Amino acid sequence: MCHFYFYFSDGKVMMEYIGATGKPITFDDVPIDEGIDFHFILSFAIDADSLGNPQNGKFSPCWASTLTPNSVASIKSKYPNVKVLASLSGWSIGSKVLSWYKPIDTQQWISNAFTSLKSIVNTYNLDGIDIDYERFPKHSESFSHCIGELITLLKNQSVISIATIAPYYRTILPYIELYNNYGESIDYVNHQFYTDKVSTPRGYLKAFVLRSEQFNKEKVIPSYEVDGRGIQGDAFFDGLKLLETNGFHVNGAMIYSADASSEDNYIYERKIQAFLLNSTSV
């Protein structure tokens, strides 16, 4: 299809978290521009039971029940530019806050994670995974090893083609360690800039400079939380323009989340995609 080739020539990326709240949301609700490499990120696949007890790498899908395997197949058939990922962990399951834990046998964790995620990827016809563990014990060296080896194995076995990570200001150090050791296997960094407590374009630029020094600036994606924390409204787009005037290539954006956007007719999805397509960054 001609649109398929167009998106490759343009190379702009959109990341959209979806399904975390349990709202009966669907992919079809979200506006998708055919000129954007659009990634839905299913929220979340969790290796814990309903009480938050660790399951040693055995992941289960916990996103909205309306986001079915058939609905993934349908949206991908309508839009060849759409990819769908599963995000791992997130903040909580119900009211139980989740945390990375130290597997007794790291190789067993990796094996269990590979097997369970391969099953989810095949069932839902997914393209990749996103890493969103948000709490860590004092000594979390096993995180870099387990997650890095998992991503590497999933890619080497052609189970996935895309891997992204989603650090925020409190989890920077474990993710820097992961990126330093396995960065060649990580495609994008969906840093949660809305947690960096900046509300102005100048503050956003300063935060972006810092995160670009900690990771690869070509892989760091600007992010926006709908009706949430951090920079909001027109100031966000002023921030994107400021990034461009300071030499950054704004080739993508991440939104959290489609669930929140459903309340305002996805205005920021529309505006951000329009900005990316009109941007001169290549």
Which one of the listed residues 16, 134, 149, 269 is annotated catalytic? 134
Give the Cα separation of 184 and 130 in Å (integer). Answer: 15
Measured distance CA(9)–CA(18) in Å, rounded: 27
Asked if 26 and 261 touch (Cβ cutoff 8 Å), the reply is no
The tokens describing 270, both together, are 């529309």
Per DSSP, what are the bridge partners of residue 45?
A: 61, 88
244 catalytic per annotation: no
Query: Residue 216: CB partners within 8 Å, gap ≥ 6?
Result: 179, 183, 189
Burial class (CB in 10 A: 0-12, 13-18, 19+), 249: middle
**Cβ-based neighbours of 77, under 8 Å, separated by 6 or more:** none
Residue 168 contacts residue 195 (beta carbons within 8 Å): yes
Torsion of CA 128, 134, 138, 143, to 10 degrees: 0
Q: How far apart are CA 162 and CA 45, in angstroms?
A: 16
Cα separation, 76 vs 243, whole angstroms: 32
Based on C-alpha coordinates, what's the Rg of the chain? 18
Q: Report, as residue numbers or ranges, the catalytic residues.
A: 134
